[in-house]
């Protein structure tokens, strides 16, 4: 399992980095849009939409929103603000989550809406970062990949206390701390390599740890 996981991570990471470095922004936007639509299909399956037609309609709705985000880049900040507010609200919802909520109608609709608010802003952030500062996007890919590696090994070696049993029984607090501490040197290196202003260091470090 570990070997397969490492091979998959290396292959995906190499493909993503190649795309960031070699593709023009419109082509990268198209490639990541296709990935987002595949993710939308999987999201529709996870929230148990009743049939294939509903899932296709869900994917088409995401496609329309992606096209709108591309056509009206001047509204990018509004999209990101909505996403930040949504993630803040999600923390509260996750803290109150109880098994069985997925079978209630209101949560089913909420999860469907959350797919739009997660997938579209994520795609737009990738496109904007690639256009403005590709180095930040590369750093983000490396950061997320390494945090997963550190969390896996720390959780496997030291994991005893469950992080969120009702949400993800396999995650542990030790794994979280392993990811945070393991990626801290990477964040410090990133601040130096990206040549950030000193005024942005705390902001950059905070955002990096939130991403982890």
Give me the pLDDT at residue 106, please: 65
Q: What angle do CA 184, 124, 22 make, to 5 degrees?
A: 75
Give me the pLDDT at residue 118, please: 92
Give me the pLDDT at residue 104, please: 61
- Alpha carbons 64 and 131: distance in angstroms, whole number: 21
- Alpha carbons 67 and 57: distance in angstroms, whole number: 15
- Alpha carbons 39 and 101: distance in angstroms, whole number: 22
Give me the pLDDT at residue 166, please: 62
Contact 188, 200 (CB under 8 A): no
pLDDT profile of the chain (212 residues), mean per 10: 69 83 93 95 85 91 95 92 88 67 65 89 94 89 84 76 67 80 86 80 80 74
Residue where the block lists tokens 């939308």: 40
- Which ranges in the chain belong to alpha helices (H)? 2-22, 25-46, 52-71, 76-95, 105-132, 134-158, 173-193, 201-211
């Amino acid at each position: 399992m570990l070997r397969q996981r490492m091979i998959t991570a290396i292959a995906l990471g190499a493909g993503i980095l190649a795309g960031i470095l070699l593709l023009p922004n419109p082509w990268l936007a198209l490639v990541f849009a296709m990935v987002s639509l595949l993710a939308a299909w999987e999201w529709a399956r996870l929230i148990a939409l009743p049939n294939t037609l509903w899932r296709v309609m869900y994917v088409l709705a995401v496609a329309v929103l992606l096209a709108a985000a591309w056509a009206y880049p001047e509204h990018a900040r509004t999209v990101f603000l909505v996403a930040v507010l949504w993630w803040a609200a999600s923390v509260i919802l996750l803290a109150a989550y109880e098994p069985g909520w997925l079978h209630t109608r209101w949560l089913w609709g909420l999860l469907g809406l959350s797919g739009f608010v997660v997938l579209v802003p994520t795609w737009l952030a990738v496109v904007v970062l690639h256009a403005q500062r590709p180095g930040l996007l590369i750093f983000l890919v490396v950061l997320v990949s390494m945090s997963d590696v550190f969390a896996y090994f720390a959780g496997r070696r030291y994991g005893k206390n469950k992080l969120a049993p009702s949400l993800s029984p396999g995650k542990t607090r030790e794994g979280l701390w392993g990811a945070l501490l393991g990626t801290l040197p990477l964040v410090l290196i990133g601040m130096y390599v990206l040549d950030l202003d000193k005024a942005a260091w705390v902001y950059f470090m905070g955002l990096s740890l939130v991403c982890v």
